[in-house]
Amino acid sequence: MKIATWNVNSIRARADRLEQWLLRSDVDVVAIQETKASDENFPWDLFEKNGYEVAHFGLNQWNGVAIASRVGLDDVERTFVDQPHFGKIEDEIHAEARAMAATCGGVRVWSLYVPNGRAIGDPHMPYKLQWLDVLKNHAIAWLQEDPEAQIALCGDWNIAPRDEDVWDIDLFRREGYTHVTDEERAAFHAFEEAGFIDVVRPYHPGPGTYTYWDYTQLRFPKKQGMRIDFVLASPALANRVSGALIDREERKGKGASDHAPVIVELD
DNA sequence: ATGTCCCTGACACAGGGA
């Protein structure tokens, strides 16, 4: 069985490439982030005509997550319990469309689009950290409840856990960029301390291994990327992993997302 | 090649997000 995670940066703009990628990659499950679509304009047919069931959670043009599966799609859950909100007091406050889960082929798959902290000192940064903290507490509870649970926390984590996960850590430090701060890294490592394992890194160690390249500044041809998309597997699921792929080919050419798909193979 | 891309509102391009 193959499980993938991919930030598509608009599922409508990516429809043709996504369909070709489904045919080529032969994945059984894909957790999708940043659909930038509401449920009303989500391309349901794209999945159904290729043999996938699909569930989507989208409220407007921002965020949006989906899970497609050809090995079952059960117990769909939209947002996690007590998912932090973001909004000014005077605005309508709602939980953003950044998290959903489904059980696919016996695996509890989460599609996660972790908030972008935007900038150090920006209110989106404590929102990001709080969002991760609440999710981490759930992750701990899930494993306490069932140590053998097969859980895949898939998504765009918007964190580069190690210095080698960005092309120039000195630049990030000098400019005070996000994604590499101690606080963000601690929030990520808390999942590892809870027992979840980055199952891709052992197959594709760094330095120079990335999953995202900014559209600007010729970042992709210059090989200036960031490793921010991860599949964190529970211990029982990690034991089944037999391979992994960062599909860098999919970042090439016209109409590519700025993120590459990340694929995990299970025995 | 791959020297931003994508969305919306509204009809041209500004504004917002990444």
Nucleotide nearest to A15 (CA to C1'): B6
Closest of A266, A182, A259 to residue A227, by C-alpha: A259
Residue A22 has what pLDDT? 97
Residue A92 has what pLDDT? 56
Q: List Cα–Cα distances, A56 to A39, A42, A112, A213, in angstroms.
A: 7, 8, 12, 25
- Angle, in degrees to the nearest 10, between helices A124-145 and A182-193: 10
- Find the Å distance, CA of residue A35 to C1' of nucleotide B18: 13
Nucleotide nearest to A36 (CA to C1'): B7
A252 in contact with nucleic chain B (CB within 7 A): yes
Burial class (CB within 10 angstroms; exposed 0-12, middle 13-18, buried 19+) of A96: buried
The 10s digit of each residue's pLDDT in A12-50 is 999 999 999 999 999 999 999 999 999 999 999 999 999
Rounded-to-integer distance, Cα A100 and Cα A28, Å: 17
Residue A233 has what pLDDT? 98
Q: Which two tokens stand for residue A186?
A: 């601690």
The gap from C-alpha A161 to its chain's centroid, in whole angstroms, comes to 14
- Concerning whether A259 is annotated as a catalytic residue, the answer is yes
Question: Please, what are the domains in chain A?
Answer: 2-266 (3.60.10.10)
Nucleotide nearest to A220 (CA to C1'): B2
A211 in contact with nucleic chain B (CB within 7 A): no
A40 in contact with nucleic chain B (CB within 7 A): no
Nucleotides on strand B lying under 7 Å from protein C-beta:
1-8, 17-18
Catalytic residue among A28, A156, A165, A198: A156
Note down pLDDT in tens along chain A; length 267 residues: 999 999 999 999 999 999 999 999 999 999 999 999 999 999 999 999 999 999 999 999 999 999 999 999 999 999 999 999 986 554 556 799 999 999 999 999 999 999 999 999 999 999 999 999 999 999 999 999 999 999 999 999 999 999 999 999 999 999 999 999 999 999 999 999 999 999 999 999 999 999 999 999 999 999 999 999 999 999 999 999 999 999 999 999 999 999 999 999 999
- Concerning whether A113 is annotated as a catalytic residue, the answer is yes
- Find the Å distance, CA of residue A204 to C1' of nucleotide B13: 43
The 10s digit of each residue's pLDDT in A208-246 is 999 999 999 999 999 999 999 999 999 999 999 999 999
Rounded-to-integer distance, Cα A200 and Cα A35, Å: 23
Per the listing, tokens 């973001």 go with A86
A33 in contact with nucleic chain B (CB within 7 A): no
